[in-house]
Chains A and B, each alone.
Chain A
Amino acid sequence: MDRLLELEGLFWESVVETLYIVAVTLGIGGVGGLVIGVTLYVTRKNGLLANAPVSIVLNLVVNFFRPIPFVIFIGAVQPLARWVVGVGIGNRAIIFALSLAAAFGISRIVEQNLVGVDPGVVEAARAMGAGRPRIILTVLIPEALGPLVLGYTFVFVALVDMSAIAGVIGGGGLGNFAIVYGYRQFNPVVTWVAVIAIVVIVQVAQFAGNRLARTILRR
């Protein structure tokens, strides 16, 4: 327990780091995933912008990146991270890798939820003379918003999980804290404090997401 008091500063720093990594990733990966997901949906056969070549290539790309285990993915995209964000290690590199992986994952969630939108409302909007970009922004996304919020909440939880591996390239956060000060120093109490902190973050996020979705869906 004394050790815990010594580590208190580091612990809170790790909590903030985890939240920072996950929040920034959800922002960047979330927007990227939305764009890829909408593109996947509208280029489908009989879609608003049906385009077989784009659809096939994009599906291949998404399917290529999605199954790569994240711990390997970090190493695989390290050269790309150096080129894009300037460094291959630390929080910036982990946010880069995490955002890229999240974008592909989120794209499927977005696509699935858009498929659930009644094609009739899209047809109604077309019959009213609405253009395609307007239909995407003012019909498709608002109509799917409730399930999308739940999807993004699911992704938030997955990102907390994935970010725990940040330590392998010198990133911080609760995962790194648990491994360095708990596991490697044979101190299960420290490990469990990190675990509980993660559980609390996940519970709060899920609760907030459910509430928001309920408000949007009005039930």
Chain B
Amino acid sequence: MAVIELSDVSKVFGPTRRGERPVTAVDGVPLRVEAGQIAGIIGHSGAGKSTVVRLVNGLEKPSSGTVTVDGTTITGLPERRLRAVRLGIGMIFQQFNLFSSRTVWGNVAYPLRVAKVPTARHRERISELLHFVGLADRAHSYPDQLSGGQKQRVGIARALATSPKVLLADEATSALDPETTRDVLALLRKVNVELGVTIVVITHEMAVVRSIADRVVVMERGRVVEDGPAFDVFSQPAHPTTQRFVRTVVDDVPTGATLESLRANHSGRIVSLSYRDGSRPGSEVFAELISAGVGFELVHGGLADVRGRSFGTLTLALSGPDAAVDHAIGRLRDRAAVTEVA
């Protein structure tokens, strides 16, 4: 069942100054996010991905199309009804957006007060949430006394306070260092697995999508240019934008300057073996080369893991008698897609 459903949604922002043109931030976007899924929306800044999440919780109203969340069509709902819907949708932000005048405890208590949860029940709930995110000992600290990663944990605890079904993460790790990013992403996974929360992650970093998304949506200039299961999008990206994003996390068949330098530094023939179907290159590939009497060296590339399946490109420099190398390449073609690059 789809928890979030956008059908043909567009959002046009009116000009802020006289004489400027209206900006179409989101242009006829369809989006279905299934219950329990982690969907990653990736795109460059200005691609419209932040607007898409704000359409989901009604912070922005669509210019056309309809938005449905957990069975409720929120398009056209009055603000008062919309506020009730928002209690079921948590949101975390790039700059955390914690209330600096409140302690960690006060920040997590805020949505409980908005939701009119009786004060008597706050203590138990807040303590439970802070233990879940691993910050029970910082309950009485103020946000400016916390590190970035700790702040985002508070943001997550706050967003989960009212037990939402959906969590929207708007560039939630973009202000964090790689190690903290890993911790926060692991926490988001835990939120998904243990609490069954459907998560929409907005990011411009393919590494983020790679590590947690089940589903990848690529946006460019307000449109969805690619949408599919994470492994498929990573291993066989169709759109040029997607291909560029994928190359940021895993090396492809070498071209241009990379190829020049490989050629200069390695003798022999250079071939790339691409794995796109989830199988790993076994030792039999290397055994094949050895039995053919061909010398080989791994010169470029690597494999990546997405949702437990591997893909990637290994580039080898092969040396030996021409006939033997030709024969070996022929045998390799049975095991992987082979491209002879030099």
Contacts and interface: CB of A to CB of B under 8 A. Distances in A.
Nearest to B144: A218
A46 B44 CA distance: 25
Interface of B: 16, 57, 59, 79-80, 83-87, 89-91, 93, 95, 97-102, 110-111, 114-115, 142, 144, 158, 162, 168
Interface stretch (A137-145, A187-195, A202-210): A137-145
Given A123-B59, A129-B84, A131-B80, 19 more contacts: A121-B97, A121-B98, A123-B97, A124-B91, A126-B86, A127-B57, A127-B168, A128-B158, A129-B83, A129-B87, A130-B114, A131-B79, A138-B110, A139-B99, A142-B102, A143-B99, A143-B100, A143-B101, A145-B101
A124 B95 CA distance: 11
Given A128-B111, A129-B115, A218-B142, A142 B86 contact: no
Contacts of A82: none
| Across the A-B interface, the 10 shortest Cβ-Cβ residue pairs | A129-B86, A124-B97, A120-B97, A127-B91, A129-B83, A142-B101, A128-B111, A129-B87, A130-B114, A121-B97
Contacts of B87: 128-129
A45 B86 CA distance: 24
B61 to A, nearest CB: 13
Contacts of A129: 83-87, 111, 114-115, 162
Contacts of B89: 127
Contacts of A118: 95, 97
A134 interface: yes
B142 A125 contact: no
A126 B158 CA distance: 13
Interface of A: 45, 118, 120-121, 123-131, 134, 138-139, 142-143, 145, 216, 218
Nearest to A144: B101
Contacts of A218: 142, 144
A138 B109 CA distance: 12
A130 B83 contact: yes
A124 B84 contact: no
B110 A125 contact: yes
A182 B179 CA distance: 72
Given A129-B87, A143-B100, A120 B110 contact: no
B88 to A, nearest CB: 9
A138 B86 CA distance: 18
A125 B142 CA distance: 17
B99 A127 contact: no
A131 B83 contact: yes
Residue from the set A128, A131, A138, A139 with the largest chain B CB neighbour count within 10 Å: A128
Contacts of B101: 142-143, 145, 216
B111 A142 contact: no
Contacts of B102: 142
A218 B86 CA distance: 32
Contacts of B59: 123, 126-127
Contacts of B85: 129
A123 B292 CA distance: 65
Contacts of B95: 118, 120
Contact of A128 (B98, B114, B142): B114
A128 B142 CA distance: 20
A121 B144 CA distance: 14
Nearest to B94: A120
Chain A CB within 10 Å — which of B98, B99, B101, B111 has the most?
Answer: B101
B29 to A, nearest CB: 20
6 contacts: A124-B97, A127-B168, A129-B162, A131-B79, A138-B110, A142-B99
Nearest to A130: B114
A216 B85 CA distance: 34
A175 B1 CA distance: 76
Contacts of B93: 120, 123-124
